[in-house]
Structure formats: C-alpha cells, structure tokens
C-alpha cells in the first residue's frame, strides 16, 4: 500500500471503493456485468418480474449500481429508478450511459451500508453481486429494511464466488490443457496481476470471506427483520445466455456455480 493510503482513515471500505473505481473503465467488457444479448436481457427481465412484479412507476433502489446495468433493466420494466454506488468513476460511466440511451435514471454517490435515503422511500431494493463484498452485512440489511416501504420487496442476486466445486476444478484443468495445445480459443479478459492481488486481499477481510452461501445470507436477512424470504436458484436462463458469450469451459462452469436470487419483504 502506498503512503497516500496509509493511516487510520484509510480502511477496507476505501480499498473496496478504490478497487471498483479502477475497474470502472473495463467493467462492461465482462460477461456477467453488462448484457451481451437480447436472450440474456429477457432472462433478467423474467427474474425481476417474477419477484418484483410490474414496475408501474414504483420507486426502485439499485444498490452498488456500478455502470447502471441493473438500473436499466428496472427502467425497462417501468420502475422509477435510483442507482447508488460508492465509486465516482462507476457513476460517471452510469450517467453517460443513461444519457446516451435517453434514460431518466438518477445516480447518486453513497455507500450501500449507509445510503442516506429517506426512511420508507422505496417500493423495491435490488442488489446484484454486492452482498459477497459487504463489510458489515447486518448493518447493511438493517439499512435496506429501513429505506423500504412497509410491505416493500428486497431482491438480492448474488453467489459464492470463493468455493470452487470439484466439477469446476475439472473444467479449469481441461481449459488449461486445451490452452497449452492452442485449442482453447479466445479467452475472457483476466484481471491484471496487481488488481487480482488487491481483490484477494479485500476478499480475505470481508464478512463472507469463505463464500456467500444462500442459506447464510437468508438467515441474516431474517435476523434483520425481513420476512417471506425465498431462495431462487432458477437462474439457468441467464447463465445459458451468458455462456454463449464466454469461452467454452468458463461457460460450462458458470452453470455449476452457487448463484442465486433471494427475495425478502419488509413486514407491513
């Protein structure tokens, strides 16, 4: 860590913000971040409709909105969308994308664990690939419950990005074997070594350092006061669409990973 980052005022949350700010320029290049086909877009729409219902002008909060991918999906469905992100660089790209597409989406700078939004101001709160990075999920979940209206819905889309199953390890070995013989074809862009090292260092200190498994996340949501909690593993249409834009073995691995959606409601 350089001298500018040393000292008591620079902690894990600041490291996370700096990491994602550096990822902003290439964030949309990765499958699973931006939408790469109409099939994938339709699959996301189906998931959102299944758990959130029609937009009809209801207020939606997209937490850790990044470049606005999920915000645009919600806007497609008729929600009035606000996107929050801790990274100014991500927000700059999100705003530019919304302007280019003619979308009326509000993007604001805020920490997902401390949103600074009014109590009971949103009908739905949505997060994608945020929970696994949380420093204090109990505080975050309490905050998300606070900003939801009574009866409002939280949708968490996340996964265990730490645990690697035996089938995934086999696919990785097959991929390496094919690559050595020049048979693997085009490969997905990898993180630069310094960014990969920083990612590992961050991951080792977050709450879900051993992987955000769905039952553990659901249990914390229940403790935070959410009810009507349902774990949905029916993400195969999304993963099939994403796999078509990925190298063969990575596309197969995508379908094996512990990925899920969790719907929860704030009691009336």
What pLDDT, on a 0 to 100 scale, did the predictor assign at position 92? 97
What pLDDT, on a 0 to 100 scale, did the predictor assign at position 178? 77
- Cβ–Cβ under 8 Å, residues 60 and 126: yes
Dihedral sign, Cα of residue 63, residue 155, residue 145, residue 9: negative
Distances in Å between the Cα of 56 and the Cα atoms of 60, 62, 87, 90 are 11, 16, 29, 27
Residue 4 pLDDT greater than 60, yes or no: no
Q: What dihedral do alpha carbons 89, 95, 101, 105 form, nearest 10°? A: 130
Taking only the tens place, the pLDDT of each residue in 199-227 is 899 989 999 999 999 999 999 999 999 99
HSE-CB at 240 with a 13 A cutoff on CA atoms is 8
d(CA 226, CA 239): 28
Strands (E), 76-192: 80-85, 106-109, 122-128, 148-159
Q: Going from the N-terminus, what domains does the chain have, and what CATH number goes with each?
A: 12-265 (3.40.50.150)
pTM metric for this prediction? 0.91
- Cβ–Cβ under 8 Å, residues 74 and 126: yes
Judging by DSSP bridges, how do beta strands 148-159 and 106-109 pair with one another?
unpaired
Taking only the tens place, the pLDDT of each residue in 234-268 is 999 999 999 999 888 888 999 899 999 999 999 99
Taking only the tens place, the pLDDT of each residue in 74-102 is 999 999 999 999 999 999 999 999 999 99
Over the chain, what is the mean pLDDT? Answer: 91
d(CA 97, CA 100): 5
At 180, give phi and psi (nearest 5°).
-65, -25
Distance of CA 261 to the CA centre of its chain: 11
Residue 191: burial class (beta carbons within 10 Å; 0-12, 13-18, 19+): middle
What pLDDT, on a 0 to 100 scale, did the predictor assign at position 7? 43
What pLDDT, on a 0 to 100 scale, did the predictor assign at position 188? 59
Where residue 189 falls among pLDDT bands split at 50, 70, 90?
Answer: low
What pLDDT, on a 0 to 100 scale, did the predictor assign at position 8? 47
- Collapsing DSSP states into helix, strand and coil, what is residue 260? strand
Residue 185 pLDDT greater than 70, yes or no: no
What pLDDT, on a 0 to 100 scale, did the predictor assign at position 180? 77
Q: Which of 52-56, 174-178, 189-193, 250-254 has the least mean pLDDT?
A: 189-193
The single residue listed with the structure tokens 């909690």 is 229
Query: Which uninterrupted H or E stretch holds 262?
Result: strand 259-265
Distance between the two ends of the chain, CA-based, in angstroms?
Answer: 47
């Amino acid at each position: 860590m350089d001298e500018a980052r040393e000292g008591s005022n620079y902690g894990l949350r600041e490291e996370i913000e700096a990491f994602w700010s550096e990822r902003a320029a290439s964030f949309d290049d990765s499958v699973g971040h931006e939408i790469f086909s109409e099939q994938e877009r339709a699959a996301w729409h189906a998931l959102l409709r299944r758990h959130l219902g029609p937009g009809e002008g209801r207020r939606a909060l997209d937490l850790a909105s990044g470049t606005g991918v999920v915000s645009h999906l919600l806007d497609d469905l008729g929600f009035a969308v606000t996107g929050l992100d801790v990274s100014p660089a991500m927000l700059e790209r999100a705003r530019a994308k919304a302007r280019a597409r003619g979308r009326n989406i509000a993007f604001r700078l805020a920490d997902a664990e401390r949103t600074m939004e009014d109590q009971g101001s949103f009908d739905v709160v949505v997060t994608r690939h945020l929970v696994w990075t949380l420093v204090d999920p109990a505080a975050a979940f309490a905050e998300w419950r606070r900003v939801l209206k009574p009866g409002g819905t939280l949708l968490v889309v996340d996964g265990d990005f730490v645990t690697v199953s035996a089938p995934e390890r086999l696919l990785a070995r097959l991929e390496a074997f094919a690559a050595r013989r020049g048979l693997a074809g085009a490969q997905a862009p990898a993180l630069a070594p310094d960014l990969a090292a920083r990612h590992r260092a961050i991951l080792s200190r977050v709450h879900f350092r051993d992987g955000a498994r769905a039952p553990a996340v659901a249990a914390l949501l229940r403790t935070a006061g959410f009810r009507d909690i349902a774990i949905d593993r029916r993400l195969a249409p999304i993963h099939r669409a994403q796999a078509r834009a990925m190298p063969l073995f990575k596309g197969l691995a995508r379908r094996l990973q512990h990925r899920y959606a969790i719907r929860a409601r704030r009691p009336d």
